[in-house]
Amino acid sequence: MFPLVLLVIYSGAVLLVMATPGEGLESGEKDLPPEVLEQKRIAYNYDQPWFQRYFWTWPKRLIWDQDLPAHQYEDWTVVEIMQSALPVSLQLGVLALGLAVVLGIAVGVLSAARRGQWLDQLSVGLCLVGVSLPTFVVGAVLLIVVALWLRVVPVGGWGRPSQTLLPTITLALPYAAYIARLTRSAMLDAFSEDYIRTARAKGLSEWRVLLDHALRNALLPVLSYLGPAAAAIFTGSFVVEKIFTIPGMGTHVVESINNRDQSLILATVMVYSVFLASFNLIVDVLYGVVDPRIRVGARTT
């Protein structure tokens, strides 16, 4: 199943790339002499028929030989670009996803436990604002207030822990807000169930009821949102990288798409697809951990 999905995605991406007119080689200000253009075409394998290029030469050069060149950085191979930029983007994404989940669930549980009170109303209001503001505005405001006026953390860059603080928060906030909304409404649904009444009736402490009984069931909608959230966060990091000048995939992606750098586009799409598809696989497994009923059901069918 997994390889088939990847093949389909790759074919789709190839189709899209091929539908774009131009090979993106003549992107300089001056027209290149025909001999140079011919040499470039050979270097990038454009002299081969498309089927051979996309489904044999490029995958082979990318994975096996690791010497597939990228258009706009002539002395860099795609693999080198990925090696330098991808870990940064993935770190940022993982940190933000983690923060979004933890913060979102915590706020959701708290506001469900105190429903109707000012804490609940405050968090519901903040969550609505959180999902309605573009990330780059939140990021820019944080950057100016925290980094430039208060001078608590550095303005940009990547590597030191203090540099990861603002980008992570910026990227995580909208998704934390959405997860908080999900958790809150799922918790409120759970409160009306019989097993919660039973748990209270047998004298468990309120927190025990909340965290052990209600939250466990409220986690399911959050889990099923994790897949789309991961997709959005890992691509959303492009914007955050631009604000905080983080050397991640963002600039490469935008430039490769603007320059029609087919090899880098295809490689990026594939890397992100593989990553997100495996992530979704893990989420599917987690389903069974959180809700044993699903595990049992899967075994009987």
Partner 1 sequence: MSVPGSKVWRSFRRNRAAMGSMLLLVLMCALCFASLGWTVDAMRRPSLSEVRAAPSTTHLLGTDELGRDLLARTLYGGAISLSLGLLAAGLAVVIGTAYGAFAGYVGGRCDEIMMRIVDVLYALPYMLLVMLLTVSLGAWLERWHVVGTEWSRFIVLALAIGCVSWLTMARVIRGQVLSLREQPFIEAARAMGFPTGRILLRHILPNLIGPIVVFATLTVPQAILQESFLSFLGIGVQPPQATWGSLAADGVRLLNPIRFDWWLVVFPCTALALTLLALNFVGDGLRDAFDVRAART
Q: Nearer Cβ to partner 1, position 87 or 134?
A: 134
Nearest approach, Cβ of residue 200 and partner 1 (Å): 25
Closer to partner 1 at the Cβ: 137 or 289?
137
Report the alpha-carbon angle 244-246-247, nearest 5. 155
DSSP string across 34-91: HHHHHHHHHHTTTTS-HHHIIIIIHHIIIIII--PBPSSSTT-BHHHHHHHHHHHHHH
Question: Rounded CA gap, 49 and 72, in Å?
Answer: 23
**Residues at the site binding partner 1, with contacts judged by CB under 8 A:** 5, 8-9, 13, 16-17, 19-22, 128-129, 131-137, 140, 144, 148-149, 227-228, 231-232, 234-236, 238-239, 242-243, 250, 253-254, 257-258, 260, 265, 268-269, 272-273, 276-277, 279-280
Task: Supply 37's token pair.
Answer: 């253009």
Closest CA to 115 of 123, 103, 105, 104: 123
**Which C-beta is closer to partner 1: that of 131 or that of 204?**
131
Tell me if 244 sits within 8 A of 156, measured CB to CB: yes
Task: Give the shortest CB-185-to-partner 1 separation in angstroms.
Answer: 10
Q: Name the minimum Å distance from CB 281 to partner 1.
A: 9
Cα(217)–Cα(210) distance, rounded to whole angstroms? Answer: 10
The distance of closest approach from Cβ of residue 167 to partner 1 in the complex, given in angstroms and rounded to an integer, is 15
State in angstroms the smallest separation of the CB of 35 from partner 1. Answer: 26
B/e letters for 198-221, b = 16+ CB within 10 Å, e = fewer, are ebeeeeeeeeebbeebbbebbbee
In whole angstroms, the minimum distance from the beta carbon of 174 to partner 1 comes to 9
Residue nearer to partner 1 on the CB measure, 58 or 279: 279
What are the beta bridge partners of residue 271?
none
Contact 23, 50 (CB under 8 A): no
**Residue 277 CB, nearest distance to partner 1 (Å)?**
5
